[in-house]
């Protein structure tokens, strides 16, 4: 998106479990996830130093129709402890979007507290 800061730079965006994440990469989820995260977390682009994305299918890839796609995000901000949120959804895209919105709320609260001091 024009004008949207890219928070998921080469050293910023990480899939910690390479073996598990290969399943999702082969299905094109890595670029979709990156676009969702860039868009939803753009407000915090200057403060996030690293963003870890953990994707999983809680029941297995062979079962469908269940709310079992999980996304866990861990954000690291300069000079602060890491924070994490997760979400379960019917699809990976929905799980990533839900988790990103939860992260926006969490970072807004956490960074808002700092501004009130």
Token duo for residue 63: 């079962």
pLDDT at residue 58 in the model: 80
| 2 assigned to some structural domain | no
Q: Angle at the Cα of 70 (from 64 to 72), degrees rounded to 5? A: 170
pLDDT at residue 26 in the model: 61
Assess whether pLDDT exceeds 80 at residue 102: yes
Q: What percent of the chain clears pLDDT 70, i.e. is strictly above it?
A: 66
Q: Tokens 């996304």 — which residue? A: 71
pLDDT at residue 9 in the model: 43
Q: Is residue 109 packed enough to be buried (19+ CB in 10 Å), middle (13-18) or exposed (0-12)?
A: exposed
| 79 assigned to some structural domain | yes
Using one digit for the tens of pLDDT, what is the confidence trace for 35-59?
898 899 999 888 888 888 888 888 7
pLDDT at residue 104 in the model: 96
Residue 114 parent element (H or E) = helix 92-115
Using one digit for the tens of pLDDT, what is the confidence trace for 71-100?
999 998 888 899 999 999 998 899 999 999
| 112 assigned to some structural domain | no
| 77 assigned to some structural domain | yes
| 53 assigned to some structural domain | yes
Per the structure, how many domains does the chain have?
1
Structural domain span for residue 28: 13-99
| 50 assigned to some structural domain | yes
Cα 51 to Cα 83: distance, rounded to the nearest angstrom = 10
Residue 33 pLDDT level (bands cut at 50, 70, 90): confident
Neighbour tally for 18: CB within 10 Å = 9
Read off the CATH number of the domain in which 51 is found: 3.30.160.100
pLDDT at residue 21 in the model: 53
């Amino acid at each position: 998106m024009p004008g949207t800061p890219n928070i998921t730079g080469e050293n910023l965006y990480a899939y910690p479990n390479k073996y598990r994440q290969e399943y999702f990469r082969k299905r094109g989820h890595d670029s979709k996830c990156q676009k969702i995260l860039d868009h939803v977390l753009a407000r915090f682009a200057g403060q996030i130093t690293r963003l870890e994305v953990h994707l999983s299918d809680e029941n297995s890839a062979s079962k469908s129709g269940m709310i079992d796609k999980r996304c866990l995000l861990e954000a690291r901000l300069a000079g602060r402890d890491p924070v994490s949120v997760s979400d379960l959804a019917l699809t990976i895209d929905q799980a990533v979007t839900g988790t990103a919105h939860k992260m926006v709320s969490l970072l807004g609260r956490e960074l808002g507290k700092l501004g009130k001091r």
